[in-house]
Amino acid sequence: MCGIAGFATPHKFTQFQNDLEKAVSALSHRGPDADGVWSDATFGIGLGHRRLAVIDLSPAGKQPMSSDDQMAQIAYNGEVYNFQTLRTTLAQKGRRFRTDTDTEVIVNAYRQWGVSCFERFNGMFAIALWDREKKQLLLARDRLGIKPLYYYFDGQTLLFASELKALMKFSAFRRDIDEDALPLFLHYQYIPAPKSIFKNTYKLPPGCYAQFDGRQLEIKRYWDFPAITPSTRINRTDDALEQLDNLLTRCVADRLISDAPLGALLSGGIDSSMVVALMQKVSATPVQTFSIGFREPEYNEAPWAAKVASHLGARHTELYADPEDALNLIPKLPEIYDEPFADSSAIPTLLVSQLARSKVTVALSGDGGDEQFCGYVRYHSTAAMADVFNKVPILLRQHLARLLSRLPSQWIANCYSPWRRFLPQRYQVANFTDKWEKMIRILDKNRLQDIYRMTINLWSDPELHTLINRRRPASAYENCFEQSETWPTLARLMYTDQRTYLPDALLTKVDRASMSVALEVRVPLLDHRIVEFTAKLPEHLKYQNGTGKYLLQKLLARYLPRQLFERPKMGFGVPLDRWLRHELKELLTDYLSYDRLQRQGVFNPSEVERKIKAHLTGQANEQYRLWALLMWEMWHEKWMN
């Protein structure tokens, strides 16, 4: 695991070369073991790398690295787990190797197979590769977006890096805020790809590669999620169970390849317990596991994690976090998440990463299970409500619309029944995108307009499409729902999360938290073979009788007593609502003070003041909205002043 940065430009090569060294230095946390820079003035190209040594710990593994024929140069972040098999194949074809690294396998695989090599890699990766023969720079990202890759393109100069803080070291980079991105952040707590907080700066989409020949930048897709069709389904429970057991075991075993100490992050939930159970199944020694606990019982899974570890025979380490631990971490969040990010579970993720890094360099996690096996309650409720409304005859819906139109608009707006959010546009059709986005937003359109002083670009807000008569770009959610229009309801919801929330929120959270302390986190449940397998499972093998993860729980029961995991789902969260009223109150009122917001001119200080008062007095729970505003203000102070 590492960090990469680089440039391709026809201008001021020496300046870019100097900036590249600064960019690489800004990524030292991702790779504390070595650094390297390679450049070629003839072509105006530069690649930089910070190394976290995991496979082949010798200096021979230093990057950037060349192919055996010196015609390609690579800087790479990640792990390709099938590199040994690929190496054997390449050696048979005459390719020569000087190291035992997967890096050398990747660059030689490109020389052998061209861009089709990306389809052969099983792993997590962000790759920058210079093809000297074609005079072409290639950027590639793994199928699920486990590893990050940002790029900046102004029409001539291309910059890229693992994190924005590295891009900001280039003098050519402009920190101009994209005004469409801020409302997206306030809606979702993160900025959905391909956008970033800055103009001309983007996230390379998962499963894609970019080609740049010095003039034109093209984005191409090499992998996509498999389509859901009845003909591809695995319907027999016993068959599905055996296939899942064998496949998951292989995926976990693949991720145990490491020349550095290795362990697992164990929350005590179904997904991480499944991963640790299979690790222990294939390991000859006890697995090292790590978990974080909280004093508040409603947030504390640590006792369950300890019981799971004990039953499996793992060597378990746990740490109970106090508010002081959070207070010490919060000022560091804008530095670690150098783009506005407001998922408060970043705090326990940072804490457990620090704990694990004190003993290991690599850790496996259970991320990705909810999005594939129907683990979120919102999937079940959304599907049930949408199905009910869609079964109501259109004439009856129109009659309902007329009745509702006679009610005071304020009464409807203040109706917090969970059914209201699924009432369709004009109460006639269940617009899937609208209803799903209303559920997942922390600030809907009306609340955003109340709090946000700046002009909202109508093109950036999916809910305003009925107010304008011109065509606007579709949102990521609309694209996902459109592409999966013929799929079963639950499959559409999970697919949408896999394409949006998973890479842009969950995997971003884990990557930044873990790499801030140079911990490599591997996610076996997001092996593309698992994703392609779960796409073949019918809904009844994922969700039955009000409970998700049916097949995964059935498999876990082979390794653990059900009483250790059959309990209500707990999110990996913190008692943020209470902390904001007490331990974090001073921080909140300082950053969101009336005078400060008035000077900045982005938010309505009176509305923010009202929300703070309502939360502090217990009249309302505004924790997520206030946390998003707080994270924005802290980010802005760190990076824009």
**Per-residue confidence (pLDDT) for residue 408, from 0 to 100:** 58
Q: Is the pLDDT of residue 496 over 50?
A: yes
Burial 22-54 (b: 16+ CB within 10 A, else e): ebbebbebbbebebbbbbeeebbbbbbbbbbbb
**Per-residue confidence (pLDDT) for residue 386, from 0 to 100:** 64
**Per-residue confidence (pLDDT) for residue 81, from 0 to 100:** 97
**Per-residue confidence (pLDDT) for residue 13, from 0 to 100:** 94
Distance CA 34, CA 36 (A): 7
**595: amino acid identity, one letter:** D
**% of the chain residues with pLDDT over 70:** 87
The DSSP result for 82-96, as a single string, is THHHHHHHHHHTT--
Q: List, in sequence order, every beta strand (DSSP E) within 494-585.
A: 520-522, 543-544, 547-548
Distance CA 152, CA 174 (A): 9
Q: Which of 615, 506, 533, 536 is nearest to 250 (CA)?
A: 533
Residue 294 · residue 579 · CB < 8 Å: no
The DSSP result for 351-369, as a single string, is HHHHHHHTT-SEEE--TTH
Distance CA 206, CA 141 (A): 6
pLDDT confidence tier of residue 451, bands split at 50, 70 and 90: confident
Cβ neighbours of residue 247 closer than 8 Å, sequence gap 6 or more:
529, 530, 533
Sheet holding 217-221, edge to edge: 65-66, 72-80, 123-131, 136-141, 208-212, 217-221
pLDDT confidence tier of residue 414, bands split at 50, 70 and 90: very low
- Across 63-72, 440-449, 570-579, the highest mean pLDDT is recorded for 63-72
The DSSP result for 243-301, as a single string, is HHHHHHHHHHHHTT--SS-EEEE--SSHHHHHHHHHHHHH-SSPPEEEEEEESSGGG--
* Residue 2 among the catalytic residues: yes
Q: Is the pLDDT of residue 458 over 60?
A: no
**Per-residue confidence (pLDDT) for residue 567, from 0 to 100:** 80
Tokens standing for residue 429: 């059709």
Q: At what angle do helices 507-515 and 346-357 cross, to 10 degrees?
A: 40
Q: Is the pLDDT of residue 254 over 50?
A: yes
**% of the chain residues with pLDDT over 90:** 70
**Per-residue confidence (pLDDT) for residue 524, from 0 to 100:** 98
Q: Is the pLDDT of residue 292 over 80?
A: yes
Distance CA 478, CA 192 (A): 13
Predicted confidence (pLDDT) per residue in 625-637, tens digit: 999 999 999 999 9
Q: Is the pLDDT of residue 39 over 90?
A: yes
DSSP 3-state of 193: coil
H-helix or E-strand containing 237? helix 237-254
Distance CA 593, CA 584 (A): 14
Predicted confidence (pLDDT) per residue in 473-491, tens digit: 567 777 888 888 888 888 9
Query: At residue 290, what are phi and psi to the nearest 5 degrees?
Result: -140, 140
Q: Is the pLDDT of residue 149 over 50?
A: yes
Which has more confidence, 346 or 301? 346
**Per-residue confidence (pLDDT) for residue 130, from 0 to 100:** 98
Predicted confidence (pLDDT) per residue in 600-611, tens digit: 888 999 999 999
Predicted confidence (pLDDT) per residue in 306-360, tens digit: 999 999 999 999 998 877 887 889 999 999 999 999 999 999 999 999 999 999 9
SS3 sequence of 385-402:
HHHHHHHCCHHHHHHHHH
pLDDT confidence tier of residue 26, bands split at 50, 70 and 90: very high
From 203-217, 274-288, 405-419, 570-584, the region with the lowest mean pLDDT = 405-419
**Per-residue confidence (pLDDT) for residue 462, from 0 to 100:** 45
Q: Is the pLDDT of residue 618 over 60?
A: yes
Cβ neighbours of residue 543 closer than 8 Å, sequence gap 6 or more:
374, 379, 380, 490, 550
What is the arithmetic mean of pLDDT over 160-182? 96
The active-site residue, picked from 2, 251, 374, 480, is 2
Q: Is the pLDDT of residue 77 over 80?
A: yes
Q: Is the pLDDT of residue 501 over 60?
A: yes
**Per-residue confidence (pLDDT) for residue 417, from 0 to 100:** 43
Tokens standing for residue 288: 């090292």
**Per-residue confidence (pLDDT) for residue 570, from 0 to 100:** 67
Tokens standing for residue 398: 């129109």
Residue 329 · residue 347 · CB < 8 Å: yes
Q: Is the pLDDT of residue 559 over 60?
A: yes
What is the arithmetic mean of pLDDT over 210-238? 91
pLDDT confidence tier of residue 566, bands split at 50, 70 and 90: confident
Sheet holding 362-364, edge to edge: 315-321, 288-294, 262-265, 362-364, 520-522
What is the arithmetic mean of pLDDT over 544-568? 92
What is the arithmetic mean of pLDDT over 429-447? 67
Q: Is the pLDDT of residue 428 over 60?
A: no
**Per-residue confidence (pLDDT) for residue 445, from 0 to 100:** 67
SS3 sequence of 151-191:
EEECCCCEEEECCHHHHCCCCCCCCCECCCHHHHHHHHCCC
**Per-residue confidence (pLDDT) for residue 405, from 0 to 100:** 59
Distance CA 436, CA 379 (A): 9
**Per-residue confidence (pLDDT) for residue 91, from 0 to 100:** 97
**Per-residue confidence (pLDDT) for residue 82, from 0 to 100:** 97
**Per-residue confidence (pLDDT) for residue 457, from 0 to 100:** 45
Burial of 472 (0-12, 13-18, 19+ CB in 10 A): middle
**Per-residue confidence (pLDDT) for residue 343, from 0 to 100:** 95
Q: Is the pLDDT of residue 412 over 90?
A: no
Distance CA 296, CA 61 (A): 45
Predicted confidence (pLDDT) per residue in 519-553, tens digit: 999 999 999 999 999 999 999 999 988 789 999 99
Domains of the chain with CATH codes? 2-221 (3.60.20.10), 576-639 (no CATH)
Specify the DSSP class assigned to residue 226.
Answer: P
Strand 136-141 with 123-131, pairing: antiparallel
Tokens standing for residue 28: 């030292």
What value does the mean pLDDT of the chain take? 88
Strand 45-51 with 65-66, pairing: unpaired
How distant is the alpha carbon of residue 104 from its chain centre?
Answer: 27
